[in-house]
């Protein structure tokens, strides 16, 4: 079963409301070294990130007992969009993306639209051919977090242990983008004990690493590209600050800089080749409207696959079951069995 069509999707929308995180994250130490070696011990890394995140969003939905969706009341998700923060980040940055395309699978179930990323053939080939240097740089980012974070408030970081990429803290939150109700989850690195408020998301901090830059052209490129992705990630979760560690060619973090999320746009405001948050949010909201209007049949085994490549419009094709169906049967059966039939949600086309 395969039907394809194309559409242009860029139109105005309202801005997002502030998200409502539900829990806390690990603690950011108040004392940091200005020279951090992130390279030794790479062989001790317990890498499992690809395995952990290659699955669908439903890894986050493995709730039991009173925490089960089935006990939340009928129709509490009806009309909402459920997804992962990373997928929304890709949508926000699409208007300025020039290299990497994406694919998003969408299914409607009990009136709720679910979005899950599908690895593109190009991304898979790139992952399989990933050079050792790139893997080491990825490891350095995790090691930096180990140097910066303590397990408990008032304690000190312990950078001597393994870097276990299977472990992550995720914040689950509700938000709005224009007319769209969103429920999504995203990883949070740590909290800052010195923050003015200890309530999330005001205390959340995102940790990043980047290479040192010494020329104005390097900084301009950083502000145009990398800072855009940092903004999109942090804006969605309401994370107020990004702490960046800048590393030298030997792998030492030689300086730290804090980038307030809501001030990132100021670095490119007067740059004609810079990015604009309104353009990002407009496209994201327009795509979500397109998806809501396209995926109208309530069937967890029916998947609409949205595909995009730089310089091309978004295309959509329809598929049934494997390999694109991503809602697991245990979830479908649990919700169907335990929830009364929800009132019919009017189709966006009605």
**How does DSSP assign 169-238, residue by residue?**
-EEEEEEEETTEEEEEEEE--EE-TTSS--STTTTEEEEEEEE---SHHHHHHIIIIIHHHHHHHHHHHT
Whether residue 315 contacts residue 306, with contact meaning beta carbons closer than 8 Å, is answered with yes
For residue 166, the SS3 value is coil
Torsion-angle region of residue 110: left (phi > 0), alpha (psi -120 to 50) or beta? left
Q: Which residue has the higher pLDDT, 241 or 139?
A: 241
pTM: 0.80
Confidence at 338, pLDDT banded by 50, 70, 90: low
Q: In this model, does residue 189 exceed pLDDT 70? A: yes
Position 1 scores a pLDDT of 41
* Beta bridge partners of residue 79, listed in sequence order: none
For the record, the structure tokens of 26 come out as 């690990």
Report, as an integer, the average pLDDT of 70-87: 78
Q: pLDDT category, 101, cuts 50, 70, 90?
A: very high
Query: What is the structure's pLDDT at 340?
Result: 53
Give the pLDDT score at 339.
58
pLDDT at 8 over 70: no
Over the stretch 230-280, which tens digit does the pLDDT of each residue have? 999 999 999 999 999 999 998 899 999 999 999 999 999 999 999 999 999
pLDDT bin (cut points 50, 70, 90) of residue 205 is very high
Please check whether residue 259 is in contact with residue 228, taking contact to mean a CB–CB distance below 8 angstroms.
no
Could you tell me which residue, 68 or 22, shows the higher pLDDT?
A: 68
pLDDT greater than 60 at residue 73: no
Q: Identify which of 193, 174, 194, 191 has the alpha carbon closest to the alpha carbon of residue 183.
A: 174
Residue 309 has pLDDT above 80, yes or no: yes
Higher pLDDT, 277 or 34: 277
Q: Is the pLDDT of residue 344 over 70?
A: no
In terms of pLDDT, which residue wins out, 335 or 219? 219
Please give the pLDDT value at position 283: 97
Mean pLDDT taken over the chain: 80
Query: What are the sequence ranges of the domains in the chain?
Result: 56-334
Q: What is the mean pLDDT of residues 15-20?
A: 28
For the record, the structure tokens of 160 come out as 């001597």
Query: Among the listed ranges 35-49, 70-84, 119-133, 293-307, which one has the minimum average pLDDT value?
Result: 35-49
pLDDT band at 75 (very low <50, low <70, confident <90, very high): low
């Amino acid at each position: 079963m395969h039907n394809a069509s194309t559409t242009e999707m860029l139109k105005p929308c309202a801005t997002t409301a502030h998200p409502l995180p539900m829990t806390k994250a690990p603690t950011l130490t108040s004392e940091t070294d200005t020279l951090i070696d992130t390279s030794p011990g790479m062989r001790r890394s317990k890498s499992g990130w690809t395995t952990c995140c290659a699955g669908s969003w439903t890894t986050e939905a493995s709730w039991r007992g009173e925490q089960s969706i089935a006990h939340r009341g009928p129709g509490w998700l009806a009309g909402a969009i459920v997804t992962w923060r990373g997928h929304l980040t890709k949508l926000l940055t699409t208007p300025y993306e020039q290299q990497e395309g994406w694919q998003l699978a969408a299914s409607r179930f009990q009136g709720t639209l679910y979005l899950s990323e599908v690895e593109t053939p190009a991304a898979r080939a790139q992952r399989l051919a990933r050079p050792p240097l790139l893997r080491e740089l990825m490891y350095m980012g995790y090691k930096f977090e180990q140097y910066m974070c303590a397990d408990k408030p008032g304690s000190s970081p312990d950078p001597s242990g393994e870097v276990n990429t299977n472990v992550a803290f995720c914040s689950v939150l509700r938000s709005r983008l224009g007319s769209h109700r969103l429920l999504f989850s995203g990883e949070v690195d740590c909290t800052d004990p010195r923050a003015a408020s200890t309530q999330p998301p005001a205390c959340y901090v995102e940790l990043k690493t980047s290479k040192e830059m010494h020329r104005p052209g390097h900084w301009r490129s950083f502000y145009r590209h990398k800072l855009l992705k940092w903004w999109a990630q942090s804006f969605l979760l309401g994370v107020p600050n990004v702490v960046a560690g800048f590393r030298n060619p030997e792998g030492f973090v030689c300086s730290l800089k804090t980038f307030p999320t809501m001030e990132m746009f100021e670095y490119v405001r007067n740059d004609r080749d810079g990015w604009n948050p309104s353009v990002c949010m407009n496209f994201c909201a327009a795509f979500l409207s397109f998806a809501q209007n396209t995926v109208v049949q309530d069937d967890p085994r029916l998947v609409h696959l949205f595909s995009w490549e730089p310089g091309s419009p978004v295309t959509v094709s329809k598929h049934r079951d494997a390999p694109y169906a991503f809602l697991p049967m245990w979830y479908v059966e649990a919700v169907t069995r335990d929830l009364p039939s929800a009132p019919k949600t009017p189709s966006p086309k009605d």
